Amino acid sequence: MAITTTWSVESMERTTSDGGVFSLRWELMAQTDAKPIYRSTAGDKLTCTPDPSASDYIPYADLTEADVLGWVYESLREYTIDEDHEFVEFTETAAEAKARVEADRTAKVQKQIDAAAATASGMPWTPAPAA
């Protein structure tokens, strides 16, 4: 039974004057590909600070889900801070952050599978239900 992960953008808010996206909601779902279906989701709201004058700014009409998910992966990067609680450096890439979150959700689904395999129902005096 394989476990697949699916990232999605659930909603976005933008200013109508310049199309700058200032808020979005994302979700990651990990689930089995066969019945019974086991699943675990993660998601959050991401606040953005659009800058139409930036060289990497993408006009709203040209955005793809992959572009926006790239922002999400960047936002999930872990980092270190100093004793004054100031940012020092990132400790992982966006791809590593994405993989870390996927691994966490996949592990949660596997835990559900393992728990189900470790239990059974029925009574010793009746035949076991057909699988």
- Does residue 42 form part of some domain? yes
Q: Residue 22 is part of which domain span?
A: 3-50+60-116
- Does residue 86 form part of some domain? yes
**Cα atoms in the 13 Å half-sphere on the side-chain side of 115:** 7
- Does residue 123 form part of some domain? no
pTM of the model: 0.85
- Total number of domains constituting the chain: 1
Q: Decide if pLDDT at 130 tops 80.
A: no
The arithmetic mean of pLDDT across residues 64-80, rounded, is 97
pLDDT at 131: 65
- Does residue 124 form part of some domain? no
3-state DSSP assignment of residue 71: helix
pLDDT at 53: 92
- Does residue 91 form part of some domain? yes
Q: What angle do CA 11, 15, 21 make, to 5 degrees?
A: 45
- Does residue 121 form part of some domain? no
The arithmetic mean of pLDDT across residues 10-22, rounded, is 94
- Does residue 93 form part of some domain? yes
pLDDT, tens only, 100-114: 999 999 999 999 999
- Does residue 67 form part of some domain? yes
Q: How far is the CA of 19 from the CAs of 24, 49, 66, 83, 113, in angstroms?
A: 13, 12, 17, 38, 44
